[in-house]
């Protein structure tokens, strides 16, 4: 991701041996390249992605891309990084099942859009360890933002106070990803709602209850 700043040594003698230049041209190049990457991912798909095409589309020389991102994995990792800082947040529909269903509908739309950047990103995450780390952090960020869905439901009295938010969210969303990404079955318009309903039923049956915070135990 961005320039590998390995310089951060712990020694006290040499503070910053290399003065970076994050301004003007550098950031402009990054923006151009990431835009070109998104466009290529969408149009040509992941497996036909070449660094060369990205560089050409960005109006930048190939060597520049190779130098700064090294390979496709590095490029994608940086894209994850850039994707991560937006202001997305889950809708508030007024009910747990509605919130989860809305989330699923949004995901289904993103994953089945004809040139799907989301699907390309998932495919890409298998490319390199670097990209895998990037996608892991992206998922973590998104699930963290979704936890508010659960806390809202608790406040409304729809769920018991000690509910494992992550487990509930995963139960509600995993079937969708499973079908669209792993099984590769054609999109089922009813699936988002069914999966949400199933998770809510399981939650009502106490499937995601965490052990009550009984007084401080040892250790």
Partner DNA sequence: CCACTAACGCGACAAGTTTTACATTAAGAT
Partner DNA sequence: ATCTTAATGTAAAACTTGTCGCGTTAGTGG
Half-sphere exposure of 202 (CA within 13 A, CB side): 17
Site for a copy of itself in 66-95 (CB under 8 A): 73
- Closest C-alpha to 178, from 163, 194, 162: 194
Non-local (6+) Cβ contacts of 110 within 8 A are 116, 118
The single residue among 26, 93, 167, 198 that binds DNA, judged by CB under 7 A, is: 26
Site string for DNA, 37-56 (x = CB under 7 A): -------------xxx----
Q: Which two tokens stand for residue 198?
A: 């199933």
Residue 26: CB minimum distance to a copy of itself, A: 28
First-last CA distance in the chain:
40
The single residue among 83, 108, 116, 125 that binds a copy of itself, judged by CB under 8 A, is: 125
Assign 4 to helix, strand or coil.
coil
Site for DNA in 53-92 (CB under 7 A): 59-64, 66-68, 70-72
209: contact with a copy of itself by CB under 8 A: no
26: contact with a copy of itself by CB under 8 A: no
Non-local (6+) Cβ contacts of 196 within 8 A are 97, 98, 100, 101, 103, 104, 172
Out of a copy of itself, DNA, none, what residue 162 binds, judged by CB under 5 to 8 A for its kind, is none
For DNA (CB under 7 A), the number of binding residues is: 28
185: contact with DNA by CB under 7 A: no
Assign 81 to helix, strand or coil.
helix
- In the complex, the residues that contact DNA under the rule CB under 7 A are 3, 7, 18-26, 29-30, 50-52, 59-64, 66-68, 70-72
């Amino acid at each position: 991701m961005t320039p590998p700043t390995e310089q951060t040594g712990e020694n006290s003698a040499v503070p910053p041996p290399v003065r970076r230049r994050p301004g003007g041209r550098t950031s402009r190049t990054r923006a151009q390249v990431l835009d070109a990457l998104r466009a290529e991912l969408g149009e040509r798909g992941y497996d036909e992605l070449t660094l060369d095409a990205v560089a050409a589309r960005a109006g930048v020389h190939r060597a520049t891309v190779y130098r700064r991102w090294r390979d496709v994995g590095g490029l994608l990792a940086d894209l994850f990084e850039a994707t991560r800082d937006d202001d997305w947040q889950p809708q508030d529909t007024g009910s747990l099942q509605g919130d989860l269903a809305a989330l699923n509908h949004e995901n289904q739309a993103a994953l089945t859009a004809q040139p799907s950047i989301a699907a390309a990103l998932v495919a890409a995450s298998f490319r390199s360890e670097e990209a895998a780390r990037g996608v892991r952090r992206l998922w973590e960020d998104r699930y963290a933002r979704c936890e508010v869905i659960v806390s809202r439901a608790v406040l409304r009295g729809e769920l018991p106070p000690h509910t494992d938010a992550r487990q509930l969210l995963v139960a509600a969303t995993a079937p969708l990803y499973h079908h669209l990404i792993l099984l590769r079955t054609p999109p089922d318009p009813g699936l988002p709602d069914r999966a949400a309903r199933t998770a809510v039923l399981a939650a009502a049956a106490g499937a995601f209850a965490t052990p009550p915070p009984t007084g401080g135990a040892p250790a």
